[in-house]
Structure 1
Amino acid sequence: DMLSTPAFEPAKVELEKRQAVEAIRRRPDSPAGIAGREFRKLLYGADHPLGRESTIETVSRITREDLVAFHRQYFTPSGLILGVTGDFDKPAMLDALRKTFGDWKPQPVTLPAIPPVTASSAAGSSRSVNILSRDLTQTHLRVGHLSLKEDDPDYFALALLGDILGGNSFTSRLFRDVRSRQGLAYSVGSRLVPGNRGPGAFLLYALTKGSSTHQALASMLDHMERLRQEPVSDDELQSAKDAFLNSFVFSFANAGLIVGRLMALEYYGLPKDFLQRFRDSVVKLTKEDLLRVARKYLHPDRVIILAVGKDDDFEKPLSTFGQVRHLPLKPGG
């Protein structure tokens, strides 16, 4: 009943709205949260579904009638995926599900189309350097650009390349150099954000002292460029493969994880054997494969850079990386 005919009790709706508004008011308390949200706006555009964020105004406008209408339009058997796992008799379970949901009438569901990303900074031919000034002792750095979708044949190679750069925390280049050797960052790394409904992103991040912001950023960009200039070592390639294969088994550690991953694959329209293809593709990757995708998909000369911190403390101006924009932090941002 809660799924098919929720009550949306007015008092509970108002309680949820107040809690959401309070959470928005507290957003400025988290510098990392600011960096994440503002970077997504720069990457996808502030009005794009992948970059847009809720505001006190938008949450306050929501009515119970809006929730009822949204549920009526999108919560229907035609738009849901149900996963069941455990020790049961399959025919008996299917019979029980039909009895439970049999009266719930299906109707066509058309999800809103996700528009293309048109943010000028994301599609630019040069770096976009952005500073959001906050009175902090540390600087939160975000560096990156749009990337490929998860169903792209090159996704597997780029994912492994990201592990070598900064994904495998203790063995990655960024960790060993920027953090351990130079002592520039408390945390540093990279990750490939898979694109499904829209484009993905290749992201580097770091938390550094204000007085080492420029040097940390320069080192991150140098490592990104180095991947384009020369192949990774044999040891790096094998270590990254081993780490991936060792972690791969944990994707199937229990029945709940398995059914959850299968549901995600179906939701995003990926083949059921996608994870096995991922594993098989990673095993076959060569240094030449990684160099090719690095040159094709990594663009340190066209990245979006965001620094959240006290720019007066930066040891050098970030204008050496490109023209700087100072971003305002809107209330509740």
Structure 2
Amino acid sequence: MNAPHPTALARQQLYSDMSPFHLTPLWEVLHALVPKQPATPCVPALWKYEEVRPFLKRAGEAITAEEAVRRVLVLENPALRGQSAITQSLYAGLQLILPGEVAPSHRHTQSALRFIVEGQGAYTAVDGERTTMRPGDFIITPSWTWHDHGNDASGEAVVWLDGLDIPTIRFFDAGFAENDQSRSQVVKRPEGISLARYGHNMAPVRHDAPFGATSPIFSYPYARSLEALERLERDAPIDEWDGVKLRYLNPLTGGSPMPTMATFMQKIPAGFSGRPWRQTDGAVYSVVEGHGKVHIDGAGGSHTFSFGPRDHFVVPSWHTARFTSDAGCVLFSFSDRPVHQALGIHREERLS
């Protein structure tokens, strides 16, 4: 056996001697710190609602909404188990609230979105205004606003997708939270007043942004979103990568509804066979209606997921994806695109 090269011995001695001083050589890890392209540890994953729903039902029997504070099953990326994350910057979970329950009022610095998956008649209250939840509605809980959820005793079980920037806030060590003194906040304004003020391409003449960098509209009804998508599918060119895809807006800025998360709704036409694309922002999808397939390619291999209503899936950063659908479908999605854009690092490729 040959003796180690003197240079190798010197290096190992250097590493050993400087380790107690909390020093480490950059040249040993530079290739991993500055990769040639994104190398996310996240993997594509699909959650079939028919498989998840029984566990939601059992959770409803095992713990009350008030005891749990939020009765949620976290959608964990298979490569990030134990981190409560669906991508390295995003959290997703499915929340259940039963008739007669209240998920008590609290607030936190994390921004949250709710996308209604099943049932109707429950409500979300934000800063003194309530909105009724209906399937396909997109609802915002702005950062550091009091919010609670409730379900009238005469209603039905309601399930929604929770999307939060928890991992992002955790990365910056900037998380705060506070519980309210009462279970439910006092309703101060009639339902729909925020939409009336800001949701018609108009705004009050004298106003400020009630939620800072977050949209003043905290409920975007599905009926209006679907109407726009169907009109564009009928009367406008179909995009070869996305079908018909629209992004939700903050009407005061034209930007994303939340400073850390962008949200989208798209309609994949019947018979669609899309071209592939990839982007640096990992995206979480909720299937609103219809059926289709997503084909995802990355360093870890290729995946094809067949999806239907209420299924959820994740396309990680810089994975090539494309959609196909025989019958057509509608997809809601959210990602951390605003953070990428604010930092000037967002990149997207539409491949042929």
Given the two structures, how large is their TM-score scaled by the length of structure 2?
A: 0.24
Structure with more strand by fraction: 2
- Larger RCO of the pair (alpha carbons < 8 Å, separation 6+): 1
**More helix by proportion, 1 or 2?**
1
Give me the TM-score of the superposition, normalised by structure 1. Answer: 0.25
